[in-house]
Structure 1
Amino acid sequence: MTALRPERESDTSYGQQSYGVPGAFEEWSGGGAYGASPQPEPHASYEPVRDESFLPPVDEETVALRLPDPPPQTGGSTAGSPASHAAGRGGSAEGGRAARRKAAKRRHGRHGGAADTPSAAPAGSGAGSRSGAPLSRVEARRQARARKPGPAVVASRAIGEVFITTGVLMLLFVTYQLWWTNVRAHAQAGQEASSLQNDWASGKRNPGTFEPGQGFALLHIPKLDVVVPIAEGTNSKGVLDRGMVGHYAEGALKTAMPGDKTGNFGLAGHRNTHGEPFRYINRLTKGDPIVVETQDKYYVYKMASILPVTPPSNTSVLNPVPPGSGFTEPGRYITLTTCTPEFTSKYRMIVWGKMVEERPRSKGKPDALVS
């Protein structure tokens, strides 16, 4: 039972020491301090001795009874020992209420919730970085390695950049070949045609023979809306790439001039790029006019036949009487040669025509150029 202990005479004879304090609760198990049941004396005074050194700590929070905290499960301490009771009440026999509060904060956080630690976040959720907590050096290195692209990614990026650069360069080259060369060639050919017409209008005479690259006539193909200067020679840079057509006038490939009484007037021109004056000669049909304009005369030819494909080495197409043209005897012929298929130079396409009219300029333009 729990009761107040009366003061005994023996207590005063040894320095007024007391083994009981009013308000304290003690556990008795069958007797006094060593098992003997105390018997209060009839004449004993019940005034308590207030020795402050033996007062228990005052609970500032409440004076009511409360259940002690469950004792910690540690080795070397039993549930019934004084140490376990002290640990259960406050976590420390010496810390008191302040120690219990600190322990509660450590266990449950400031507001009784789960501790706000990075370990509370799921692994890989990145909560530590979002909450502003600094990363450890190892974790920072790991994240840096994860962000760094691997060798395969770097290689694929390099290959992609090479492909893109190559594609851009090819696009620029195609644009240059298909568009810019035509623009430049048309300008050069137009300038040469204007120069010829000015010379003819001013009465300036040209010699009967011409230097390589020198313009001396104009070719008209009314059906294809083509008007292009004719220059001496078939050199690419000096003649053909400047948008003009060239006269075969060198070596074994030398052909006749339009004013000759008999012969084959052979011309070459680009089918694609650099002005492409012969691009659509495959559309000519039998009887279509082809006109050569010189300083003195107009020479009118009628388209006679076409050879769609032949090897570049077939120079017989320039003969005075070319085989395969349908001509059987010497006459005044014209031969147009160009590359085929389009955008290649693997084969040659041949168009032949026969002169049907020689008209002086003083009589005006021929009907083929008037209508």
Structure 2
Amino acid sequence: MTALRPERESGAYGVGDQGTSYGGQPYGAPGAYGDGWYDHTAAQAAQGASHGTAPPGPHHAAHDASYGTAPPGPHGASYGTAAPRPQGGAADSTAYLPPVDEETVALRIPAPPERGERAEAAPVPTGGRAARRKAARKRHGRRGGPHEATGSPGAADAGEGLSADSGGASRAPLSRMEARRQARARKASPAVLASRAIGEVFITCGVLMLLFVTYQLWWTNVRAQAQAGQEASDLQNEWESGERKPGAFEPGQGFALLHIPKLDVVVPIAEGINSKKVLDRGMVGHYAEGALKTAMPDAKTGNFGLAGHRNTHGEPFRYINRLEPGDPIVVETQGEYFVYKMASMLPVTPPSNVSVLDPVPKGSGFTGPGRYITLTTCTPEFTSKYRLIVWGKMVEERPRSKGKPDALVS
């Protein structure tokens, strides 16, 4: 690249004064820059001599004035557009300055940055055209196209073909295969979908089971105790008003109250052992049907058999396993109180063992006819695999007109 012309000191570039050129000729003379052409060989020789004797520096004002007749350019005369060679003279033997690539001669203002590129553009390469093309490919991507700004109309599809870098500009567009590979990577596999579905099923089943357990262990007790309490209150009101008459009772109809003072239990006794009509409503059922029919409390001899839930639905018999021999069990009817004393217990027996309801129950320890009571419930707790049996023997029959028995007063 041609260097800037050094500053002349003491009126010359090594020879002559200010009005002389590199070859000793004044600028106005034939062959000088003012005529549009010059002796190229002589100018190079004079320039080389002046570089050896004068330091570099800016052009002198008088030196710049000598270029006034030449076309404008970075050096006062344009090398690439020299005037036609004059005819004849010594200057005919001088060579023309050949056309020079403008990219390597003049200073030029850098082009504004491409849209979407950063203001801090990469440094201009110092090599030739091959180096510049290589640098341009690195800046603009594999296909040589300019970066697309993130705000361009096509930026909406950046999820498929473009990916943004940390500087805000988009990287080179992805190939179709790469875009498909990324789409497959984002899409859930069938195994993942199946595991999600199974997990949701398990969670739903767990929630339903939790709700069912809550219903069974808590809500059924709340509802059954409320129903049993209402039935006991209605029964006592009927007794006081004289509306209820002693005699046979319909299935599901309450006719007495069971008191277990040690367990703080007061629960209505209804006819029959139907689950929906009696047991699930928090009441105690009397065995009064078919082969399991037992005697009533006012019978002179016989076994008064009762059944009740140990868990859920009011669970009136939950703690009868805590009874001990001698603990009172009282049956209150409209006209009398029947007081029994706990005699014995059978902790576990199969549900098919109906002999525990016989007039003289087997395994109770009773040896002859008498007035007995039998309480039956499920065991172990929260299961119905076996039955727990508690027996008692009547020790007192007291009319209601005489007041409550001592077992209820104390």
3-state SS of the aligned residue for 2:373? strand
In structure 2, what is the equivalent of residue 242 of structure 1? 281
Aligned counterpart in structure 2 of residue 355 of structure 1, from 388, 391, 394? 394
Show CA shifts across 1:149-190 (max 9, x none). 112211211111111111111111111111111111111111
Amino acid at match of 2:293: K
Superposed, which structure 2 residues align to 1:197-216 within 5 Å? Answer: 197-216=236-255
Aligned counterpart in structure 2 of residue 272 of structure 1, from 296, 301, 311? 311
3-state SS of the aligned residue for 2:331? strand
Is structure 2 residue 178 aligned with structure 1 residue 132?
A: no
Inter-partner Cα distance in structure 1 for 2:299 and 2:322? 28
Inter-partner Cα distance in structure 1 for 2:214 and 2:390? 30
Inter-partner Cα distance in structure 2 for 1:49 and 1:364? 157
Show CA shifts across 1:250-275 (max 9, x none). 11111111111111100000111111
Superposed, which structure 2 residues align to 1:118-157 within 5 Å? Answer: 128-130=163-165, 131-133=169-171, 134-157=173-196
In structure 2, what is the equivalent of residue 194 of structure 1? 233
Aligned counterpart in structure 1 of residue 135 of structure 2, from 105, 108, 115? 108
Inter-partner Cα distance in structure 2 for 1:260 and 1:54? 144
Tell me if structure 2 keeps the 8 A contact 1:129–1:135.
Answer: no
Inter-partner Cα distance in structure 1 for 2:181 and 2:133? 30
Inter-partner Cα distance in structure 2 for 1:339 and 1:90? 99
Inter-partner Cα distance in structure 1 for 2:299 and 2:387? 26
Give me the identity figure in percent. 75
Tell me if structure 2 keeps the 8 A contact 1:337–1:350.
Answer: yes
Inter-partner Cα distance in structure 1 for 2:255 and 2:305? 14
Inter-partner Cα distance in structure 2 for 1:250 and 1:299? 22
Structure 1 segments unaligned to the other structure (5+ residues): 5-17, 26-43, 63-88, 92-99, 120-125
Inter-partner Cα distance in structure 2 for 1:303 and 1:116? 100
Amino acid at match of 1:362: S
Inter-partner Cα distance in structure 2 for 1:55 and 1:256? 136
Tell me if structure 2 keeps the 8 A contact 1:21–1:49.
Answer: no
In structure 1, what is the equivalent of residue 266 of structure 2? 227
Superposed, which structure 2 residues align to 1:293-304 within 5 Å? Answer: 293-304=332-343
Structure 1 vs Structure 2 CA RMSD: 3.0
Superposed, which structure 2 residues align to 1:287-366 within 5 Å? Answer: 287-366=326-405
Amino acid at match of 1:301: Y
In structure 1, what is the equivalent of residue 106 of structure 2? 60
Inter-partner Cα distance in structure 1 for 2:320 and 2:94? 133
TM-score, structure 1 normalization: 0.71
3-state SS of the aligned residue for 2:208? helix
Is structure 2 residue 322 aligned with structure 1 residue 283?
A: yes
Tell me if structure 1 keeps the 8 A contact 2:39–2:95.
Answer: no
Inter-partner Cα distance in structure 2 for 1:90 and 1:230? 110
Amino acid at match of 2:319: Y
Amino acid at match of 1:132: S
- Paired residues, what number? 292
In structure 2, what is the equivalent of residue 12 of structure 1? none
Structure 2 segments unaligned to the other structure (5+ residues): 1-22, 24-37, 46-87, 109-125, 144-160
TM-score, structure 2 normalization: 0.65
Shift of the 57–107 alpha-carbon distance from structure 1 to 2, 3 Å rule, reads: closer
More moved, 277-286 vs 51-60: 51-60
